[in-house]
Amino acid sequence: MEAVSETAPGRMIMEWQSLLKRNAADLKTPALVIDLDAFERNVRKMADHCKASGISLRPHAKTHKCAEIAKRQIAAGAIGQCCASLDEAEMLVGAGVASILVTSPLVAEVSIRQLLALSAACPGLMAVVDNAQMVDRLAQAAFASSQTLKLLVDIDIGHHRTGIAPGKPACAMTSAIEKSSNLEFMGIQGYAGHLMHLADRAERQPRSAAALEALRLTRDQLSGMGIAPRIITGGGTGSFDIDPAERVLTELQAGSYIFMDRQYNDVWTDGPPFETSLFVLTRVVSANQPGMVTTDAGLKAFSTDADAPLISFGPAAGAAYSFFGDEYGRVTLPENGMMRLGDGVACVTPHCDPTVNLYGHYLVVRGGELVDRWPIARQSAMLWRLLCHCRALCACSGAAWRATGRPDCRASRKEPQRCLPLPRLSSSRGRLSAAQHRLYAKRAILFCRRCRTQPVCLCRQESGDDFGSAATDQVSNSR
């Protein structure tokens, strides 16, 4: 396994060396690092490509799990976001994203309740379904809460992971959705995940086109029934330059293009169309053995469903990275190669999505300067849910209450009429400034443990935030 350089060698070495030198005291490794310049170029390039191709872009948030990245993609032209989980959807709703598609089928009762709560907070939230039984359950749940759920029919176009068969079965399910007064048919979804990493474009292109034929067939049959889908969504980074030409999809769900990884870089043998912008930074923690050193990034620092990480910066060319246990990695050095204790090693991730899932935040770097830290969903959703120290009106009692994550919030001094305590965070992030409180008060997604509904945040009502009125509607309906 050879060490690689993702851009001009001099520039890459200069940037990493500068980052390590300037921020040595603050860089805890292993760390997930974004090269902001490369990231921004990737975002612009995909947005420009979709605009020129006449297709909307709805990037998949399962790649980044980050509100800041979602907002940047939307600012560049994306119409909204996809997400794979309700936790990701909660994060996106909290960030103010207006159009969200949950691309995974939901079956658990608790998931249906959470979907309804999020739908009340975000009228542009959509979900998918691939089973007639779930159409009935969702219709009943929506009726019970006096809501209308927006649904897409998930269609199997060859991956065989989720999705109903195209054609007549999909059309029959669509008819069932149309008959329910509490369900709204929005469109169809089909994702050919089994084709995204085919390295031979001569194979990838015709197979991708053939997979889209299943969506075309279903679209035409639905149109003949008078229920033409408004949305036809699918595709990914591996087919971003193939799908638009087929004129089937109205939306592209690409996600990994913002970061890239070893898997996707290997797809394009003539060079990937997007730059690698995501790296895991690790340090040498032991250098006692000849021909190798040990780092602090092992199995817990990378996804392990693909090949080993590729070295982008650190040792001399020819070095190779391998896993050396849960906490440790091994760098096998070339002949006469040498690394010292504390030296940095930057690696391209094997698979970006599951690697991101292992971290709590990104270190955002421009050039050699650490410019920001962006929280990742599992952390940001927790913050928005638990750290909104605000008064609220709960549907189950009509009493005003304040959700308390930690009692030492300096922003709100009003005593609550009723307090429903939520789990406390042990982190120092629980101490919020007044500015942070205002931010979280507007973004928080809070749920009453007793009635399972979302309270009306009085901070939002007093500030005239539109979100407050949406929550008021939910409280009224829940009663």
Quick one: pLDDT at residue 294? 98
Quick one: pLDDT at residue 306? 87
175-198 pLDDT, tens digit each: 999 999 999 999 999 999 999 999
- 270: which residues sit within 8 A by CB, 6+ positions away? none
Q: Which two tokens stand for residue 455?
A: 């309270």
| Amino acid symbol at 118 | L
So what CATH class is 9-34+271-373? Answer: mainly beta
Average pLDDT for runs of 10 along the chain of length 479: 35 66 86 96 98 98 97 98 96 95 97 95 97 97 97 97 98 98 98 94 94 97 98 97 96 98 93 96 96 97 94 94 97 94 96 96 92 80 40 37 34 33 34 45 42 40 33 30
Pairing of strands 31-35, 361-366: parallel
Quick one: pLDDT at residue 476? 28
Quick one: pLDDT at residue 21? 83
Quick one: pLDDT at residue 340? 95
**Cα-based torsion angle of the residue sequence 295, 296, 301, 305 in order, rounded to the nearest 10 degrees:** 40
Phi/psi at 437 (5° precision) = -60, -45
Quick one: pLDDT at residue 375? 95
Q: 37-258 domain in CATH 3.20.20.10?
A: yes
Quick one: pLDDT at residue 378? 63
Domain boundaries, the chain: 9-34+271-373, 37-258, 387-478
Quick one: pLDDT at residue 328? 98
DSSP-based three-state secondary structure for 230: coil
Quick one: pLDDT at residue 390? 38
Gap between the Cα atoms of 448 and 395, Å rounded: 8
